[in-house]
């Protein structure tokens, strides 16, 4: 009888939360869109606009009963705005298009973006000069769309 009680308690605890050290951004965003909230070191964050350094994450807990995802870091994260990132990479004018891991970000949401130090693995600014040449002749709509530039960011 005692053994069955211990097993029942263990099953109950396991079903209430799960521990996952793998940082899967898309799966967490999917949970956020299904009503979950995200807390980073016990503080609420807007996860859809926050990019974390995968190497700084120590644990991720899914608290299903509270519809919360708790993310703990090894070190206190330091965040930068998109404006700070543009300054770091010497972007002088507001680019027309910003993509992060292949997802286009609306210019209205650029001010909401936060990047943890070392979360960006690659940053590229492509301008009309990058699209000069015969191979891009006839692609005038692409050249017009790029205008002030296209920023391509890859996250670790």
Residue 95 shares a structural domain with residue 118: yes
Residue 65 confidence (pLDDT) above 70: yes
Domain count, the chain: 2
For residue 12, is it within any domain?
Answer: no
Choose one of 7, 38, 73: the last residue of a domain: 73
Q: Residues 119-142: pLDDT tens digits?
A: 999 998 887 776 665 555 566 666
This prediction has a pTM of 0.76
For residue 4, is it within any domain?
Answer: no
> Residue 109's closest CA among 118, 117, 99?
99
Q: Residues 1-44: pLDDT tens digits?
A: 555 544 544 444 444 444 454 557 888 999 999 999 999 999 99
For residue 104, is it within any domain?
Answer: yes
Choose one of 53, 73, 93: the last residue of a domain: 73
For residue 8, is it within any domain?
Answer: no
Question: φ and ψ at 91, to 5 degrees?
Answer: -90, 115
Residues linked to residue 154 through DSSP beta bridges, in sequence order: 122
Report the SS3 class of residue 61. Answer: strand
Residue 86 shares a structural domain with residue 149: yes
Residue 87 shares a structural domain with residue 57: no
> Residue 44's closest CA among 67, 64, 24, 23?
67
For residue 106, is it within any domain?
Answer: yes
- Find the domain containing 103 and state its range: 80-155
Residue 30 shares a structural domain with residue 97: no
> Does an H or E element contain 16, and which?
helix 2-16
Residue 150 shares a structural domain with residue 87: yes
């Amino acid at each position: 009888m005692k053994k069955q009680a211990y097993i029942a308690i263990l099953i109950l605890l396991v079903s209430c939360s799960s521990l996952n050290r793998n940082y899967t951004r898309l799966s967490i965003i999917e949970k956020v869109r299904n009503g979950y909230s995200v807390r980073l070191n016990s503080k609420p964050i807007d996860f859809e606009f926050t990019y974390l350094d995968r190497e700084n994450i120590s644990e991720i807990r899914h608290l299903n009963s509270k519809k919360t995802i708790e993310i703990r870091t090894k070190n206190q994260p330091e965040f930068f705005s998109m404006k700070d990132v543009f300054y770091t990479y010497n972007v002088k004018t507001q680019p027309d298009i910003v993509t992060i891991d292949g997802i286009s970000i609306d210019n209205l949401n650029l001010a909401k973006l936060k990047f943890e130090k070392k979360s960006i693995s690659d940053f590229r600014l492509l301008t009309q000069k990058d699209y000069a040449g015969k191979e891009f002749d006839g692609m005038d709509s692409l050249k017009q769309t790029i205008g002030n530039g296209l920023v391509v960011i890859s996250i670790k």
